[in-house]
């Protein structure tokens, strides 16, 4: 006669653990997301655990080190005004008005001398000064030009 094995009431076989519950594995997956600006915010919206990992300063430092240089967001073009043009596709595309140079966008009074690390160096012909603009924050730092320059 075959013996029957009885299962105790209230117990069930352990469910297999999901790979996404392993934080080390999840961090490796998140690390390999594309470097586009929307990648980490979109991933962090999936679950609280993902958001916590994606915003951890140590993880963000690893993400930046893994991907190297940040992507080019866009360029400033000269036309009727100095205007930002995003080079990214949606959802990462940045509207031109978001990165305005404000009063320094008139090419009759100003000239863009260069852009580095998110800042724009502008020559203001009217005030005879150079202005360092941070289009993301809207902050501007004016530097007077010495008369003998």
Q: What digits encode the pLDDT tens for the residues 53-105?
A: 999 999 999 999 999 988 888 888 887 888 889 999 998 998 888 888 887 78
Within 10 Å of residue 96's Cβ, how many Cβ atoms? Answer: 15
Terminal-to-terminal C-alpha distance of the chain: 106
Cis peptide before 91 (omega within 30 of 0): yes
Report helix, strand or coil for 37. coil
Report the pLDDT value the prediction gives residue 16, as an integer from 0 to 100.
59
Q: What is the mean pLDDT of the chain?
A: 85
Q: Quick one: pLDDT at residue 41? A: 93
Predicted local distance difference test score (pLDDT) of residue 50? 92
Considering the chain, what percentage of its residues have pLDDT values greater than 70? 87
Pick 130 or 4 by higher pLDDT.
130
Using CA atoms, how far residue 58 sits from 67, 69, 84, 90, 93, in Å, is 14, 17, 32, 28, 27
Residues 74/85, Cβ–Cβ less than 8 Å:
yes
Task: Give the separation between CA 134 and CA 97, rounded to whole angstroms.
Answer: 14
Cα torsion for 80, 81, 86, 90, to the nearest 10°?
Answer: -70
| Sequence-distant (≥ 6) Cβ neighbours of residue 95 within 8 angstroms | 86
pLDDT band at 6 (very low <50, low <70, confident <90, very high): low
CA-CA distance, 91 to 85, in Å (whole number)? 15
| Cis peptide bond upstream of 15, omega within 30 | no
CA distance 74 to 121: 16
């Amino acid at each position: 006669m075959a013996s029957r094995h009885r299962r105790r009431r209230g117990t069930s076989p352990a469910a297999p653990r999901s790979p996404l519950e392993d934080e080390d594995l999840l961090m490796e997956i998140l690390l390999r997301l594309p470097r586009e600006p929307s990648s980490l915010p979109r991933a962090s919206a999936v679950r609280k655990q993902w958001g916590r990992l994606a915003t951890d300063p140590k993880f963000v430092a690893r993400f930046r080190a893994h991907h190297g240089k940040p992507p080019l967001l866009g360029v400033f073009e000269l036309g009727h005004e100095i205007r930002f043009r995003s080079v990214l596709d949606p959802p990462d595309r940045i509207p031109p008005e978001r990165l305005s140079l404000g009063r320094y966008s008139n090419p009759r009074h100003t000239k863009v001398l260069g852009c580095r690390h998110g800042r724009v160096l502008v020559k203001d012909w009217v005030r005879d000064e150079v202005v360092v603009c941070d289009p993301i924050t809207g902050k501007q730092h004016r530097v007077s030009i010495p008369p003998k320059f």
